[in-house]
Structure 1
Amino acid sequence: MNRFLSALLLVGLFPLLSTAQSAQATYGNDFLSTGSGARALGMGSAQVALANDVTAAFWNVAGLAEVEKPQLMYMHSERFSGIVGYDYGAGVLPLKSGKGVVSLSFFRQGVDNIANTLNAWDRERDQPKGNAEDYITRFSAADMAIFFSYAKQRTDRLSIGASAKIIHHKLGPFAQAWGYSLDIGAKLRTDFANVGVTVHDITTMQKMWDVNESAFGDYEAQFDSLGATLPTGQNEYVLPSVKIGASKLFPIGEDFTVSAATDVDLLFENRRAYYLNVGRMSIEPHVGGEVSYKDLIAFRAGVTDFITDPVSGFMVSPTLGMGLKLSSFVLDYGFASFAGASSDLGFTHRISLRFDFNNDR
């Protein structure tokens, strides 16, 4: 146990000591804000005290402790009229004899098939080369993450968990970065409601960037002529963020169940992009609800992205969704960005499919 605590202490302290030579990143891990599962989108991303399946590894890892059978999930989402693709896959496995639950999750957000025209331009004649298409290559700009998660039921009411995560950013052949950190979470069931809290990047996410100068070809001379230099890698760090949530279930008769949830995200990056700020802290609320019938079909709605637009004033983005359970499969759909300021960037569609293994087989 002492060795484990010492190792955990080193993991936590090393990023903090490294920040002295790094720059703070704003929106450093914002690609992960899409989260996991289409159910979450339909409910305005209010999941911290509600998620109790494989998706809990992201929303609140402590919720994994409620999983009783192995599960697999895949999700695809498109944003900005299909320009940005987002894929998520995960699996969860309860251990024997109440030893806890383990999970592995993968996230990828990317823009693919980007044209690299650096070598297609004749800089001496200041015009495209005659056979420019032969010099154009394609690359992807992608953000990826892997979560290794573990959760355990501490008491009948309290569950806790942690996720070790690795981040990888890749900008084609030009630059890439690696980062790592730790998330923790807790979930408490009370007689009135469930409450949950999760801290992302509690150890502070440290990212190490590397730029491949040779990928810019002879453009170094162009930079020199402008009195500039080629981009160089710079380490950066991402501050911890906190999610706090509450949820409550309301059974209606024997067939219907209403679920209500609300979350508050607390970020300390001095974003000043949302309607409520306290010093360097920005506050992002999420509210959602769900009506399910016999755990077979569900309809969802929520609100998120509470912002004050300089032109339109105060605005929110509503979300909608539905879910359908067919034997061991659960199919969820979420739809957002059809109103509010974010609607100008196109609709967001999200589909996820979960498979539940039957332990009795």
Structure 2
Amino acid sequence: MRKKHLRLILLILLSGSLFGQYVDIPDIVSKVATSTGNYLKLETGARAIGLGGAFTAIGTGVTGIPYNPASIGYIKGMETYFSHTEYMVGISHNVLAYGARLTGSDYIAVHLFWLDSGPMDVTNEIYPDGTGEKFNVSSKSLRFVYARQLTDRLKIGMSLNYIRDDIYTVYMQGVAFDIGSNFDTGLYGFKLGMSVTNFGPEVQYHGEGLVETVPDSIDPDGQLHKVTEKFPLPLTFRIGLSNDIIGQESVFVKSDIHRLTLAMDGIKSNDYIMHGSVGLEYGYGEFAFIRMGSHINHDTKGMTAGGGVRVNMGGSALSVDYAFGSNSVIEPTHQFGLNFEF
């Protein structure tokens, strides 16, 4: 028992040391708006949002890919997922994902995220109220994921992420990488998740909108090409813990019907201060679920809540989930998700 206590203390100290390099950075140095592709940090998945985004250690299946690619190591057969979220003024984003277990220890998945602004008016200095032409701003992220179960307690995963922004006649595209792990510590039922996401080279915008015709230009084609600055992607490090306080696998309170799971995440990105999230999920018979969560030390994100049902159908299962998220600068968001396991 003393050895278990010592190992738990070492685990906590190790988790803290991973963030130690940021302790001396004052909160005022937030570096907000110093990266591009910030839609990559949008929380997706109704279950994850209901838990306040605390999904690095608790995430299972394709919904956990943006938080930790090792999450697909929990897929039992095949799995598909779709979700839709509406923001204000016609902005929306969607997720479509598919994952499969290839062998007893190998897993693959594809995860597509796309955000759309809805139609907007094209304006210029001559027609400030609109030329009559419309355009959309769209952002896309396509991840190809591979995970492997190394032992009965350790899973690792990685993904290649193709990203692209289209803003009228201007675009940005690039690639990034994610890597993550999920480890069953064997200490009082705690699971430890860690991930680094959006690791890749700097990107910049190109396109016709950055080209102007200049009659007196010495350029042979008579055009001036504007060169935009390069910006980094929102590199993000996450570390999370989860524990079944009540449940079949709980070391605290055993129950075959009720489950109460606690999830906690610490998050540090290259363009924001250290922040975190915490969530609770109650499950009744692994059929009905209630979730609540909160963001910690974040200037806009607040409380979240949600729920869902999971219906077993022989060798397959269908899950329908809903999540509500509050925000201090925009209207509350509502997300619906549909997950099918087969």
Residue 235 of structure 2: aligned partner: 240
Aligned partners of 1:266 and 1:306: how far apart in 2?
Answer: 11
Structure 2: runs of 5+ lacking an equivalent: 1-31, 216-223, 248-253
Q: Which of 128, 132, 135 is matched with 1:136 structurally? A: 132
Aligned partners of 1:162 and 1:318: how far apart in 2?
Answer: 30
Q: Which of 76, 87, 91 is matched with 2:94 structurally? A: 87
Residue 49 of structure 1: aligned partner: 57
State the one-letter code of the partner of 2:320: L
Deviation at 1:179, TM superposition (A): 1.1
Residue 201 in structure 1 maps to residue 209 in structure 2: no
TM-score (norm 1): 0.74
Aligned partners of 2:301 and 2:206: how far apart in 1?
Answer: 38
Residue 28 in structure 1 maps to residue 6 in structure 2: no
Residue 263 in structure 1 maps to residue 265 in structure 2: yes
Q: Which of 265, 276, 293 is matched with 1:285 structurally? A: 276
TM-score (norm 2): 0.78
Deviation at 1:64, TM superposition (A): 1.0
**RMSD (Å), alpha carbons:** 2.5
Aligned partners of 1:188 and 1:99: how far apart in 2?
Answer: 15
* Distance of aligned partners of 1:171 and 1:283 in 2 relative to their CA distance in 1, 3 Å threshold: same
Deviation at 1:215, TM superposition (A): 8.0
Aligned partners of 1:214 and 1:26: how far apart in 2?
Answer: 21
Residue 161 in structure 1 maps to residue 157 in structure 2: yes
CA offset digits 1:155-179 (Å, max 9, x no partner): 1111101000011011012x10011
Aligned partners of 1:82 and 1:294: how far apart in 2?
Answer: 40
Residue 323 of structure 2: aligned partner: 334
Aligned partners of 1:60 and 1:214: how far apart in 2?
Answer: 36
Larger helix fraction of residues: 1
Number of equivalent positions: 290
CA contact (8 A) 1:100 1:151 kept: yes
Deviation at 1:56, TM superposition (A): 2.1
Residue 108 in structure 1 maps to residue 114 in structure 2: yes
* Distance of aligned partners of 1:213 and 1:239 in 2 relative to their CA distance in 1, 3 Å threshold: closer
CA contact (8 A) 1:25 1:237 kept: no
* Distance of aligned partners of 1:241 and 1:316 in 2 relative to their CA distance in 1, 3 Å threshold: closer
* Distance of aligned partners of 1:116 and 1:256 in 2 relative to their CA distance in 1, 3 Å threshold: same
Deviation at 1:214, TM superposition (A): 7.5
Structure 1: runs of 5+ lacking an equivalent: 1-23, 122-126, 222-228, 272-281, 309-314
Q: Which of 321, 326, 335 is matched with 1:350 structurally? A: 335
Deviation at 1:235, TM superposition (A): 2.8
State the one-letter code of the partner of 2:274: I
CA offset digits 1:300-354 (Å, max 9, x no partner): 000015346xxxxxx86111100111342101100011xxxx3341111111101
Q: Secondary structure at the match of 2:259?
A: strand
Q: Which of 268, 292, 295 is matched with 2:286 structurally? A: 295
State the one-letter code of the partner of 2:113: F
Aligned partners of 2:178 and 2:85: how far apart in 1?
Answer: 24
Aligned partners of 1:307 and 1:47: how far apart in 2?
Answer: 17
Aligned partners of 2:277 and 2:298: how far apart in 1?
Answer: 12
CA contact (8 A) 1:29 1:238 kept: yes
